[in-house]
Structure 1
Amino acid sequence: MNDFTDIQTRLVRAGLVPYIARWSGERPARVPVVAHGRTGIGYQRERPGDRDARGVLWKRYVRAPGEGVPEFGGVHPYRQRRAMRRLLCQVCGGPADLNEQGVLWLVGDAGRGWSDEEVTGHPPVCLRCAGTARRVCPHLRDRGVLAPRVRDAPLVGVSGTLYELRRWGLACLGPATLAYDDPQVRYLQAAQLMRGLRDRTVVDLDRV
């Protein structure tokens, strides 16, 4: 058993599977993406929830949390989107921590610089889960973590699979992250909702 598998096993036994994690029993729905002329992409028979409030198409996934084994490397589009919209903790699914400095987030790779328009697809966290995530998540533990409190975190775009309309039909261009005001976003099949992290104050998790 390798280190990552061992960590996964311990997390499952401790009941610490992140709320946004995808389970092996949750697979993409077998529904083809079709072209809607020059207005973008869609499904033949769309359902409520297939599009977000801005009209962007979302990937359909079976919802069966707890079925099978957790896939820590992937997120479930519905739960990630819900956590980002409602500012829920990505680990437990409860409200993220909020005080006068803003909502608490965790950002991996403490050694890198910050941009003015920092964008993330990782939902925020609550205080209780922040410490757990820092200890057990290999990415955060090995590369260090910044804990910013953010007063302004607008919904800025989506990440997913981009398509292009050609003479013979749709062509899949692969992964892309686009702002909501990008004209190409109507050809994106979204899988993650993105927020900008502005007006930030980095805090010490050991002192909060």
Structure 2
Amino acid sequence: MNGSIRPVHYWDGRPVPHIAAWSREQLPPQPLSVIYGQGGSGLGFQDEDSRIDRHQGVLWLRMPAARGGQPRYERVHSLRQRRAMSHLLCQMCGGPTIGSRPGDERTLFLVGSAGGRPIAEGEHTESPPIHAVCALLAVEYCPPLRRGWAAALVDYTPTWGVAGLLYSPQPLEPLSSDHHDGLHRVPFTDDRRIRWTLAARLMVSLLGVTAVTDLDTLADVERESARVPG
């Protein structure tokens, strides 16, 4: 049995995305400080363990991974989002998206698009990939997607940067952002800003984009593949 598509969690009759946070996953204190190292000063934790607290050299928000209580659909769990993006796991079920369709190594991406704008070549996103089967659930239940969506099969997804809180060195305070979620989008190539960023989401570039308007046909291929032994 093809195990790439996993059961989706439900709460009160509604599917809960794999990357959604739960009420039990409350943010602990973030003991931030200015640290000094190779390349100059930057943001760090007072009790930092670089093996846990950093990814690709960037400081990450501390957030427990302990699902329970009630889902917080409006909040993204930073660690599950990062793992889903790094390993191309489905944002809904958490299963691997590579290999869900025989002979097709591309990954499917789905974003909100109330105005009908398609996903562009080279676009940056913090929304992890998704199975077509799971995408059908998402467009049915997710309010932003119900207002309109765009989907595309993508050949290559190199990491681009992060979405996170950007801090000023003196005083050590978060800077305001023009984005509705208060997060800054910072590329890894921007050394001046990335060293002062507390990352919350990993972002990738979408390359080799082929627009998808028929999710049902893709979902049928995935369902058929799941019935094939081995």
Map of 2:165 onto structure 1:
161
Question: Residue 71 of structure 1 aligns to a residue in which SS?
Answer: strand
Letter of the aligned partner of 1:31 in structure 2?
A: Q
Map of 1:45 onto structure 2:
47
Check if 1:141 corresponds to 2:146. Answer: yes
Contact 1:97 1:126 in 2 (8 A): no
Take 2:107 and 2:208, find their aligned partners in 1: how far apart are those partners? 11
Letter of the aligned partner of 2:21 in structure 1?
A: R
Task: Give the unaligned 5+ runs of structure 2.
Answer: 1-9, 177-182, 219-230
Check if 1:180 corresponds to 2:188. Answer: yes
Q: Measure how far apart 1:114 and its partner are.
A: 4.6
Map of 1:5 onto structure 2:
none
Map of 1:16 onto structure 2:
15
Map of 2:117 onto structure 1:
112
Q: Measure how far apart 1:39 and its partner are.
A: 2.4
Contact 1:28 1:61 in 2 (8 A): yes
TM-score (norm 2): 0.78
Take 1:113 and 1:15, find their aligned partners in 2: how far apart are those partners? 27
Contact 1:101 1:201 in 2 (8 A): no
Contact 2:88 2:98 in 1 (8 A): no
Take 2:44 and 2:22, find their aligned partners in 1: how far apart are those partners? 25
Contact 1:22 1:76 in 2 (8 A): yes
Letter of the aligned partner of 2:187 in structure 1?
A: A
Take 1:150 and 1:116, find their aligned partners in 2: how far apart are those partners? 9
Distance change (3 Å), C-alpha of 1:181 and 1:41: same
Letter of the aligned partner of 1:141 in structure 2?
A: R
Letter of the aligned partner of 1:149 in structure 2?
A: L
Which residue, out of 59, 62, 70, partners 1:60?
A: 62
Contact 1:147 1:202 in 2 (8 A): yes
Take 2:66 and 2:85, find their aligned partners in 1: how far apart are those partners? 20
Contact 1:153 1:195 in 2 (8 A): yes
Letter of the aligned partner of 2:135 in structure 1?
A: A
Contact 2:85 2:202 in 1 (8 A): yes
Question: Residue 28 of structure 2 aligns to a residue in which SS?
Answer: coil
Contact 1:120 1:196 in 2 (8 A): yes
Take 2:86 and 2:124, find their aligned partners in 1: how far apart are those partners? 15
TM-score (norm 1): 0.86
Q: Measure how far apart 1:97 and its partner are.
A: 5.1
Q: Measure how far apart 1:21 and its partner are.
A: 0.4
Map of 2:80 onto structure 1:
79
Question: Residue 36 of structure 1 aligns to a residue in which SS?
Answer: strand
Take 1:93 and 1:189, find their aligned partners in 2: how far apart are those partners? 24
Take 1:83 and 1:123, find their aligned partners in 2: how far apart are those partners? 6
Query: What's the C-alpha RMSD, in Å, of the aligned pairs?
Result: 1.7
Contact 1:89 1:125 in 2 (8 A): yes
Distance change (3 Å), C-alpha of 1:83 and 1:114: closer
Q: Measure how far apart 1:116 and its partner are.
A: 4.0
